[in-house]
Structure 1
Amino acid sequence: MDVVVAGASGALGTVLVPQLVAAGHAVTGLSRSPSGLARIRAAGARAVRADLLDEPGLLRALADVRADAVVHQATALERTPTRHRHLHATNALRDRGTAHLLRCAAQIGARRFVTQSFFLGYGYRDHGSAPVTEDRPFGELTGDAFDVHLRSMRANEDQVLGATGVEGIALRYGLFYGSDRSTAALLDLARRRRLPAPAPAGVTSPVHLEDAAAATVAALERGRPGQAYNVVDDHPVGFDEFVDALAAAVGAPPPRRVPAWVLRPLPYLHALMARTRIRVSNAKAREELDWAPRHPSCHEGLAEVAAARA
């Protein structure tokens, strides 16, 4: 397929573009920065400078492009967000950016559209011990400061899954880690014993970037139109266990525990690390996409990431 990838120089896009090229797809990658464009070209793809929030400019940039599919992987996140405002730019990309890309899909003749969604669209709360599957409510508003994020995640999916003229698919990725700057920063903090673990801790569902990219290729090729898929590894972990795995990966002692309430001045981080308990199931993606994570848990995955950086 000829595929346009928005966010092609981001954390996931940087891993996804080489996998798409290796699978035989012709890729046009979008980025706003010269360094991002250089990374796209180095991966064997065509690079186009474009801003998803500038609709007229985006349409002009792709005026001579024809493609079979669009993959939306654009975010504005470079590190783990700690406050609500750190997500505002990404919310705009999920809302207005998605609308602009759908109009581009019509212009370039694309019939398939895969969008990046996020597992926390199920809600920043305790989901209990049962696996969270795709039939759970998604993007339900709760009447608090998290509604702005839930609304943008729901808007992204609603636009794509409900679009006419394209086969829309949403991938609800877990907590990313891998060869990105955010993971590198966490590993360095763990090495210096400056990354404590909250007690009590929440439960999260991670996914290695390589596995997330492989699931994206599979969804592009085999995903059912109108469907959402959870893309996570096989083993949800407590956030304290995740921090322990970071330390173990770099040979550091187990991190110290701190009361979860000390994170409350950083409300988004507190919700991510302490308040939310979510065990996401990847069974549907395994069955329908013929995909399985190469890294069953963050323990193996983080050890591999640390070894590659050594």
Structure 2
Amino acid sequence: MRVFVTGASGFVGSAVVRELLGAGHQVVGLARSDSSAAALTAAGAEVHRGDLDDLDSLRRGAAAADGVIHTAFKHDFSDIAASGAIDLHAIEAMGAALEGTGKPLVTTSVFLVPPGVFATEEDPADPVSVAPFRVPSEEATLALAERGVRATLVRLPPSVHGRGDGAFVPQLIDIARDRGVSAMVGDGTNHWPAVHRLDAARLFRLALEKAPAGVRLHAIDDEGVPLHAVATAIGHGLDLPVVRIPPAEAAAHFGWISHFVSLNLQASSALTRQRLGWKPEEPGLLADLAEGHYFEDGRTSKL
């Protein structure tokens, strides 16, 4: 297939590009900068200039492709609702270009269920979730299945880990370096699901190739890693003591990430594995932390 990929130079998207090329697909990656374009060219992909705000460019990219994988998202935490609206409009634009063709559109979501729920692929998006601003995008994707698009979505967990990770785990490592302790909130018995980026990339490819229209897919290897285990691994990696932070002091210690460190999220990928034959092969989160690369070069977070 000739596949149009948004977010093609990002942490997940770049792995998706390599996975697609390795499977014999042609890839056209969306690039908004010269550096992104150069990275795509070096990887062996074609370049399509534009960004998520350029809906005409997105329509052209989708219309010229045999399928679309949408991994881009503008993480503007100063106005995250606006980021959600940009994502929705991008999905609508690309979906309109594919309407009636039966071509695949695979979009990216997160776990849009309330904390404390053991999430499955059958759980619809719930506004009472960690990311309500992404609910409209998930609903819009599934609605495209009724308009002649083989639309599916992949829900990613809080930790998509591996070399080059710049999200929540590196943020925790940076905080531990600054504070001189590796911390958890309370007893750390809350959980995060997790998946390695290369396993996630494989799932995106399988979704493109054979997922039925209108399904949710869960990119989940670890169903729920206790946060005390993450804190312990970080303490070991940095040779720092591991401590418990009372919930009332979490914001002062962790800053804006305190909400995420306090979440209790668990999820299954049983239906995804059954539908697509997907089987994670890469190290789990704790094994990845034990390899040591998260602690190699000073600051690691990009958030």
Task: Tell me the TM-score range normalised by the shorter chain.
Answer: 0.7 to 0.9
Correspondence 1:140 to 2:126: yes
Distance in structure 1 (CA, Å) of the matches to 2:296 and 2:43: 20
Change (3 A) 1:153 1:180: same
Correspondence 1:76 to 2:74: yes
Which residues in structure 2 correspond to 1:34-45 (within 5 Å)?
34-45=34-45
Counterpart secondary structure, 1:85: coil
Counterpart secondary structure, 1:16: helix
The answer to whether the 8 A contact 1:260-1:270 is kept is no
Deviations 1:225-284 (A, max 9, x none): 110011111341122322323343x3533432212222347786333211x322100111
> How far has the Cα of 1:208 moved from its partner?
1.4
Change (3 A) 1:96 1:115: same
Match of 2:141 among 155, 160, 166: 160
Correspondence 1:229 to 2:210: no
Note the residue ranges of structure 1 that are not aligned, 5 or more in a row: none
Which amino acid letter does the alignment assign opposite residue 44 of structure 1? G
Aligned partner of 2:257 in structure 1 is 269
Calculate the TM-score normalised by the size of structure 1: 0.82
Counterpart secondary structure, 2:119: coil
Aligned partner of 1:301 in structure 2 is 288
> How far has the Cα of 1:305 moved from its partner?
6.2
Match of 2:113 among 118, 122, 138: 122
Which amino acid letter does the alignment assign opposite residue 134 of structure 2? M
Across the aligned residues of Structure 1 and Structure 2, the Cα RMSD in angstroms comes to: 2.9
Deviations 1:125-181 (A, max 9, x none): 222xxx421222x33234xxx68x31x322112211111121011111112222223
Which amino acid letter does the alignment assign opposite residue 85 of structure 1? S
Correspondence 1:203 to 2:191: yes
Aligned partner of 1:66 in structure 2 is 64
Change (3 A) 1:89 1:233: farther
Change (3 A) 1:285 1:247: farther
Which amino acid letter does the alignment assign opposite residue 113 of structure 2? Y
Change (3 A) 1:15 1:236: same
Note the residue ranges of structure 2 that are not aligned, 5 or more in a row: 298-303
Aligned partner of 1:20 in structure 2 is 20
Correspondence 1:99 to 2:67: no
The answer to whether the 8 A contact 1:234-1:293 is kept is no
Correspondence 1:85 to 2:78: yes
The answer to whether the 8 A contact 1:2-1:69 is kept is yes
Aligned partner of 1:287 in structure 2 is 274
> How far has the Cα of 1:188 moved from its partner?
5.0
Counterpart secondary structure, 2:64: coil
Change (3 A) 1:219 1:59: closer
Match of 1:173 among 138, 144, 156: 156
Counterpart secondary structure, 1:135: coil
Distance in structure 2 (CA, Å) of the matches to 1:2 and 1:166: 16
Distance in structure 1 (CA, Å) of the matches to 2:256 and 2:155: 19
Change (3 A) 1:196 1:95: same
